[in-house]
């Protein structure tokens, strides 16, 4: 905090700091200097006392308002209804997933010989739909691409770095190296490409460490898109960038806004580890994207 | 792989008990703040129901141990913003702020005796943006930073709105005192 010297300040100049003093927002050093001035200035002391009195009167008046219990009762009733609906969905969604696969297999068996990937794809899409039920829309963006492109892909080895760089394109030159520098050493990049999922384009890096799979998913931010709009609260501040977290089953998602982009770190790691990695990469990636 | 769905869907823990213990204790504070902000208890009660429903739906994103009250206040201001868009023209509020800024050059003294009713009436007269900052910073005792985050405005805006809000309150309360012939503290700084 900046320290203000009131030694030779006129009372009028000092006035602008009185509210911050009353709200305990000045640094300790500045407060000490202000107090020293107040000790020798009766007018300013009275003014501070008046502001403290006003603050106390406002607090007392608002806190003294009576509230009704009816609202609490209504809210609890509605929450119980929502909880019942959620329970119902938790049973019906897996049934719907199973049913959709069964229908797909039956239909294809009768009409045409289904390709294994077609069966798998129907299941995958139902699975991702079920995942989407668990999280707000802004979280779905990164979660869906991770599930589609990384989780359902059977990684055996990885493409050569040069090929991945080519698939990412010159616009994102250096992104892989940047992530590599900030992520734990034992993670290996197994995928780097531009992709499209559900009519949205992504820059996608996937990294593996034994059975652990992690994605950095980046996409252009559409007008009006923001995590705060989904009522998400930041769980972390990484180099001045707010990071928003959510969990969908075994997936941890950490999302952030970087200028015209949305970024996500998605993995099957623990909440703490996923956030730890997000904290390490969000700042550099955000700077890289011009956020 | 689909087998994971079962684990995934049944692995979700969203306990009403946790919500009850974390979020519900703040209902009274939010209710009082909403009533003061909107000046209408019926509107405030509607907003409260919406706030808690929204909070419940995104409760999975709330991290236990963080500031639940601040999180709820942020949701409340989003709800109020949505409601106000339906109720009034926000441009009028912006114009009102500019006019006030030009007028506020004097901090009148504060009456010696103030009733809660008089203070509430003066708060009610404040423009909602000032009211919001006064409630968060003075009643809820949130820091400038927390207030700025909840309202989605820069800290400098919080500071200027708080200062102007207090001056407006003093002007209004001085008027009350003079109307009723109540004495005032001497020596208020101009």
Q: What is the CATH number of the domain that holds B81?
A: 1.10.1740.10
CATH number, domain of B163, equals 1.10.10.10
Instruction: Determine contact, residues A188/A207, Cβ cutoff 8 Å.
Output: yes
What digits encode the pLDDT tens for the residues B51-90?
998 898 888 778 877 899 999 999 999 888 777 655 544 4
Beta bridge partners of A195: A202
CATH, domain range A144-288: 3.30.200.100
Residue B100 resides in a domain = yes
Q: Which residue has the tokens 């609490």?
A: A72
Q: Does B143 touch chain A (CB under 8 A)?
A: yes
User: Same domain, yes or no, for B99 and B78?
Assistant: no
User: Same domain, yes or no, for B97 and B151?
Assistant: yes
Residues 6+ apart with CB under 8 A from B11: A249, A250
Among B67, B87, B107, give the residue marking a domain's end. B87
Partners of residue B16 in chain A, C-beta under 8 Å: 79-80, 83
CA-based nearest residue to A142, from A256, A275, A264: A264
Could you say which residues from 33 to 92 on chain B have a Cβ atom under 8 Å away from some Cβ of chain A?
33, 35-36, 41, 45, 48-49, 52-58, 60-63, 66, 71, 74-75, 78
CA dist A278 and B103 (Å) reads 48
- For residue B10, name the pLDDT band (cuts at 50, 70, 90): very low
Partners of residue B49 in chain A, C-beta under 8 Å: 71, 74-75, 78
The predicted model gives A118-123 an average pLDDT of 62
Q: Where are the beta strands (DSSP E) in chain A?
A: 188-197, 200-209, 212-220, 234-238, 241-248, 251-258, 261-267
User: Same domain, yes or no, for B81 and B99?
Assistant: no
User: Same domain, yes or no, for B108 and B26?
Assistant: no
Higher pLDDT, B81 or B162: B162
* Mean of pLDDT over chain A: 83
- For residue A242, name the pLDDT band (cuts at 50, 70, 90): very high
Number of Cβ within 10 Å of residue B140's Cβ equals 22
Partners of residue A57 in chain B, C-beta under 8 Å: 110, 114, 116, 119
Residues 6+ apart with CB under 8 A from B132: B37, B77, B151, B161
Residues 6+ apart with CB under 8 A from B113: B182
Residue A123 has pLDDT above 80, yes or no: no
Instruction: Determine contact, residues A106/A128, Cβ cutoff 8 Å.
Output: no
CA dist B75 and B81 (Å) reads 10
Considering only CB atoms, B137 lies closest to which of A23, A101, A247, namely A23
CA-based nearest residue to B139, from B24, B34, B51, B68: B34
Number of Cβ within 10 Å of residue A157's Cβ equals 7
pLDDT above 90 coverage of chain B, percent:
37
Asked whether the whole model's pTM tops 0.80, one would answer no
What is the total count of domains within chain B?
Answer: 2
What end-to-end distance do the CA atoms of chain B give, in Å?
73
Q: What is the pLDDT of residue A89?
A: 55
Residue B166 resides in a domain = yes
- Least confident range from A157-166, A247-256, A263-272, B148-157: namely A157-166
What digits encode the pLDDT tens for the residues A180-209?
999 888 888 999 999 999 889 999 999 998
Could you say which residues from 149 to 208 on chain A have a Cβ atom under 8 Å away from some Cβ of chain B?
151-152
Q: For residue B93, what are the domain limits?
A: 89-185
Partners of residue B189 in chain A, C-beta under 8 Å: 11, 15, 43-44, 46-47
């Amino acid at each position: 905090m900046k320290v203000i010297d009131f030694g030779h300040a006129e009372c009028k100049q000092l006035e602008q700091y009185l509210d911050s003093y009353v709200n305990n927002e000045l640094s300790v050093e500045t407060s000490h200097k202000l107090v020293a001035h107040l000790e020798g200035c009766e007018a300013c002391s009275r003014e501070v006392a008046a502001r403290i009195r006003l603050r106390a009167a406002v607090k007392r008046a608002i806190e003294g308002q009576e509230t009704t219990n009816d609202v609490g009762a209504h809210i609890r009733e509605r929450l119980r209804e929502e909880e019942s609906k959620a329970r119902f969905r938790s049973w019906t969604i897996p049934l719907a997933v199973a049913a959709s696969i069964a229908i797909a297999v039956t239909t294809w068996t009768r009409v045409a010989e289904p390709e294994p990937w077609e069966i798998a794809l129907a299941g995958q899409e139902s699975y991702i739909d079920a995942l989407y039920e668990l999280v707000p829309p802004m979280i779905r963006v990164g979660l869906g691409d991770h599930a589609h492109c990384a989780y359902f892909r059977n990684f055996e080895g990885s493409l050569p770095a040069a090929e991945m760089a080519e698939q990412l394109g010159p616009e994102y030159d250096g992104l892989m190296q940047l992530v590599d520098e900030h992520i734990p050493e034992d993670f290996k990049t197994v995928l780097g490409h531009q992709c499209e999922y559900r009519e949205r384009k992504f820059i996608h890096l996937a990294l593996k460490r034994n059975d652990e799979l992690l994605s950095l998913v980046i996409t252009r931010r559409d007008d009006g898109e923001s995590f705060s709009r989904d009522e998400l609260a930041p769980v972390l501040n990484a180099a001045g960038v707010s990071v928003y977290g959510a969990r969908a089953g075994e997936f941890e998602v950490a999302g952030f806004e970087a200028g015209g982009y949305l970024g996500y770190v998605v993995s099957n790691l623990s909440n703490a580890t996923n956030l730890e990695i997000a904290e390490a990469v969000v700042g550099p990636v955000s700077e890289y994207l011009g956020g | 792989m689909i087998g994971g769905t079962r684990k995934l869907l049944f692995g979700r823990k969203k306990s009403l008990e946790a919500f009850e213990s974390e979020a519900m204790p703040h209902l009274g504070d939010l209710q009082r703040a909403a009533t003061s902000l909107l000046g209408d208890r019926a509107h405030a009660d509607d907003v409260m129901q919406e706030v808690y429903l929204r909070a419940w739906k995104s409760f999975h994103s709330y991290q236990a141990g963080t500031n639940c009250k601040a999180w709820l206040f942020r949701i409340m201001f989003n709800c109020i913003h949505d409601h106000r868009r339906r109720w009034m023209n926000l441009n009028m509020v912006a114009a009102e702020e500019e006019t006030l800024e030009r007028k506020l050059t004097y901090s009148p003294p504060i009456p010696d005796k103030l009733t809660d009713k008089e203070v509430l009436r003066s708060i009610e007269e404040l423009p909602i943006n000032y009211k919001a900052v006064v409630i968060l910073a003075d009643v809820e005792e949130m820091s400038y930073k927390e207030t700025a985050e909840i309202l989605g405005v820069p800290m400098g805006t919080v500071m200027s709105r708080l200062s102007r809000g207090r001056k407006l309150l003093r002007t209004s309360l001085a008027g009350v005192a003079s109307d009723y012939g109540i004495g005032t503290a001497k020596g208020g700084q101009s």
